Structure 1
Amino acid sequence: MSEEYPAQEPQGPPLDATELTLQQLVLESQDIRVFLTELAVLASSRLSSAGNTIHSGVTVLRNKRPQAVAASDAAARALDELQNGFGQGPCLTALHQRTTLLVPDLAAETRWSPYVRTAAQHGVSSILAVPLDLAGDAEAVLNLYSGRSNGFSGEDIVAVETFAAQAASSLRLIIRISQLSEARNDLTAAMQSRTVIDMAVGAIMAQNRCDRDTAFSILTRASSTRNVKLREVAATVITSISGEDRITAHFDE
């Protein structure tokens, strides 16, 4: 039978080396997917031992649907996608219940029968799933697979929970950095569009000797008639006058 462990603060000593490694990942990762992939690889390498290779994956809940977004290797990704395809399993249960969940021996497990049976056919004998506490920013779970029964010791569980807590803290940071970057890019794109439209309105005013409202009306009517975005029509107007194929605006950082 599987064993559930209530969420609790890690009791093991601080893993200074792991924490420094995670901080380095935050600094080096280009995006969240890259960070999670490095996280899965790190978890796998830290837990694997002679005769007990650990495969690690990360599943994220998006729009209420689980997605396998990162893995230490192809085997881990296949196992995550397999579980997501069935829509049930220990990792998804741990994700929804936000509780660490250990299945020490799949041969003795009675829940999630279709998935467990198929996972066993893929060489999995034990599974450990630890949710990542992202404080409402998202929902994710670290999935660990072993080809051995009782492939995870009590010490392994404490170590993974400590690692997951440190990883979640780093992941919250990188999510917020990503959100700020996306917001900045959206603002820059909006300013770019606004500048191009204003330039086109000015050109139409000069050509037709009309006021701003009339010029803007001419531009929007052309956009509606051609079923083309307003910014694209504005860029076409500027190109026809200046001959420039690429219209850019520059902003001080």
Structure 2
Amino acid sequence: MKDHDRSSDRSQATDPLANSDLTLQEMVLHSGAIGDFLAELAVLAATRISVPGNAIHSGVTVLRRKRPEAVASSDETAHALDEIQNGFGDGPCLTALRSKTTVMVPDLAEEHRWTPYVRAAAEKGVSSILAVPLDLAGEAEAVLNLYSGHSNGFSPEDIAMVEAFTGQAASSLRLVLRIAQLSEARNDLATAMQSRTVIDMAVGAIMAENRCNRETAFKILTKASSTRNVKLREVAAAVMASISGEKHITAHFDA
């Protein structure tokens, strides 16, 4: 496609990413999961950068177990472009992710790096790409990928705005990650406490059934777990279920 003069589109407009920080804070509060936040982030970036005649597609790629994964996108086009790049294992967005620096491809027709991907992206109607990594301070690795159907689809002002936006987004995403970690830790603790309670109840039941001390009852329970190749908590739950009459499972185990 022909070059697109974005400066005229912005001449009478304010910064499209103004108040993004407030929006991102609201997203942190209302997002139910990391995936939800990233999906909203991709849509927000595409919406704020797009102008009449130059619709921008946005995606987010993260590195999981050393493998890139397209986790969120503003639309199917962005998702497909991210997936294609991940399939080739190289491209401007992955380069930005690995180098932790902004990568700008003003015109794919003039680009000689990443030839297989550039050719595939051009066939999808893409003419320029902007990739900006999110600094997550070691919490994870992610990159915001922006695609335009025009050559020179991103002005220097756009690049500066997107870099400022990703800085804000990275701060919000770090907070989302920490909240998720705390939530996971809380859930793990709750599960562990529940497991401990069930096991303690089962030990007490075996003590009463076999007229033995606590140590012996616990050995009976662990032996049943090992023999049956079933988790200790599940054996304990089976003991309690048999006592409550929910299931007909024998609560007596030989030591």
- Say whether residues 1:79 and 2:84 are aligned partners: no
Report which stretch shifted further, 220-229 or 55-64: 220-229
How far, CA to CA, are the matches of 2:18 and 2:107 in structure 1?
32
Could you tell me how far 1:178 is from its partner in structure 2? 0.5
Counterparts of 1:174-253 in structure 2, within 5 Å, are 174-244=176-246
Counterpart position of 1:138: 140
How far, CA to CA, are the matches of 2:212 and 2:109 in structure 1?
81
Counterpart position of 2:111: 109
How far, CA to CA, are the matches of 1:237 and 1:15 in structure 2?
59
Q: Residues 3-31 of structure 1, C-alpha deviation per residue, up to 9 Å, x if partnerless? A: xxxxxxxxxx8955111100000000001
TM-score, normalized by length of structure 2? Answer: 0.89
- Quick one: which amino acid aligns to residue 130 of structure 2? L
Counterpart position of 1:3: none
- Quick one: which amino acid aligns to residue 138 of structure 2? G
Stretches of structure 1 lacking an aligned partner (at least 5 in a row): 1-12, 246-253
CA contact 2:17–2:48 (8 Å) conserved in 1? no
How far, CA to CA, are the matches of 2:158 and 2:132 in structure 1?
11
Q: Residues 159-218 of structure 1, C-alpha deviation per residue, up to 9 Å, x if partnerless? A: 101110000010010100000000110111111111100100000001110011111111
How far, CA to CA, are the matches of 1:52 and 1:195 in structure 2?
60
RMSD of the TM alignment (CA)?
Answer: 1.5
How far, CA to CA, are the matches of 1:125 and 1:15 in structure 2?
23
Q: Name the % identity.
A: 74
TM-score, normalized by length of structure 1? Answer: 0.90
Quick one: structure 1 residues 47 and 15, their matched pair in 2 at CA, closer, same or farther if it must change by over 3 Å?
Answer: closer
Counterparts of 1:55-66 in structure 2, within 5 Å, are 55-66=57-68
Question: Pick from 27, 38, 53: which aligns with 1:51?
Answer: 53
Could you tell me how far 1:222 is from its partner in structure 2? 1.1
Could you tell me how far 1:102 is from its partner in structure 2? 0.4
- The SS at the match of 2:238 is helix
Counterpart position of 1:90: 92
Report which stretch shifted further, 218-227 or 93-102: 218-227
How far, CA to CA, are the matches of 1:122 and 1:16 in structure 2?
31
Q: Residues 58-86 of structure 1, C-alpha deviation per residue, up to 9 Å, x if partnerless? A: 00011111110000011101100110000
- Quick one: which amino acid aligns to residue 63 of structure 1? R
Counterpart position of 2:162: 160
Counterpart position of 2:42: 40
Counterpart position of 2:3: none
Stretches of structure 2 lacking an aligned partner (at least 5 in a row): 1-14, 248-255
Size of the aligned set, in residue pairs, is 234
Question: Pick from 173, 176, 185: which aligns with 2:175?
Answer: 173
Quick one: structure 1 residues 64 and 166, their matched pair in 2 at CA, closer, same or farther if it must change by over 3 Å?
Answer: same
Could you tell me how far 1:243 is from its partner in structure 2? 2.3
